[in-house]
Chains A and B, each alone.
Chain A
Amino acid sequence: DTAVSQTPKYLVTQMGNDKSIKCEQNLGHDTMYWYKQDSKKFLKIMFSYNNKELIINETVPNRFSPKSPDKAHLNLHINSLELGDSAVYFCASSLPRGYEQYFGPGTRLTVT
């Protein structure tokens, strides 16, 4: 059974386009996250939601807009894509306050 799933796995698009990445977890967790892994493999948090409420926004450009329709889903919409947005985006989930975070398989975004 897939715990944290993301779609699509790969996304290739041109500069200026708008795209979305979807994330779903079936673990019953209240908290979900988006992380970005850059070309140097460094992972950094972008957003965190707890029970559909935004908790963390790590000075991410407002071209990035997370949306949580319910506590099992956290989607990431990106407007006006730029070359520098090329990265692997990981979704994760956890119970709140100090429990393990479980990661999805990642979405490799390539902006040309």
Chain B
Amino acid sequence: KQEVTQIPAALSVPEGENLVLNCSFTDSAIYNLQWFRQDPGKGLTSLLLIQSSQREQTSGRLNASLDKSSGRSTLYIAASQPGDSATYLCAVRVDTDKLIFGTGTRLQVFP
């Protein structure tokens, strides 16, 4: 049974820091991995999608890497800003388009 864990559960950093969020999954048989952002009381915004054959994806200040064999993904956020404060979720796609979500990392970036 696939389980997805995110570490740390919560993170508070000053503005300008580079930071790394971690996601690990127990079964390497995934089709892809997607990183989302969720603001309080809001829906999920897709940030990056990495296919199982890819090693990384970049979008602006965000870079996500995938090591399928070791069951790990990291989301790197460069030069963090207060507007980055949110909960970050990773999810792996297994068969039949099902996403299995991680437990989330709650990020606070203070000025």
A interface vs B, CB < 8 Å?
4, 31, 33, 35, 41-45, 48, 50, 55-56, 58, 90, 92, 94, 96-106
- The one of A31, A55, A105 in contact with B43, judged by C-beta atoms closer than 8 angstroms, is A105
Closest B-chain residue to A95, C-beta based?
A: B97
Task: Assess whether A41 is in contact with B104, with CB atoms less than 8 Å apart.
Answer: yes
Known: A42-B103, A104-B43, A105-B42. A98 touches B98 (CB 8 A): no
A sample of 17 cross-chain residue pairs with beta-carbon separation below 8 angstroms, ordered by A number, consists of: A4-B43, A33-B97, A42-B101, A42-B104, A43-B91, A43-B101, A50-B97, A55-B97, A98-B31, A98-B51, A100-B46, A100-B49, A101-B34, A103-B36, A103-B43, A103-B44, A103-B46
- Interface membership of B72, Cβ < 8 A: no
Nearest B residue to A102 by beta-carbon distance?
Answer: B46
Q: Output the residue of B89, B91, B96 with the most chain A CB within 10 A.
A: B96
Contact A101 B46 (CB under 8 A): yes
Q: How far is the CB of B93 from chain A (nearest CB, A)?
A: 7
Nearest B residue to A4, CB-CB: B43
Q: In the complex, are the beta carbons of B49 and A55 less than 8 A apart?
A: no
Instruction: Tell whether B108 is near chain A: CB-to-CB under 8 Å.
Output: no
Interface membership of chain B positions 98-111, coded 1 if the CB is closer than 8 angstroms to chain A and 0 otherwise: 11110110000000
Please give, as numbers and ranges, the residues of chain A lying within 8 Å of B93 by CB-CB distance: 98
Cα distance, A101 to B36, chains bound together (Å): 10
Interfacial residues of chain B within 73-102, with CB under 8 A of chain A in the complex = 87, 89, 91, 93, 96-101
Identify the interface centre among A41, A48, A50: most chain B CB within 10 Å of its CB: A41
Cα–Cα distance between A46 and B31 once the two chains are bound (Å): 19
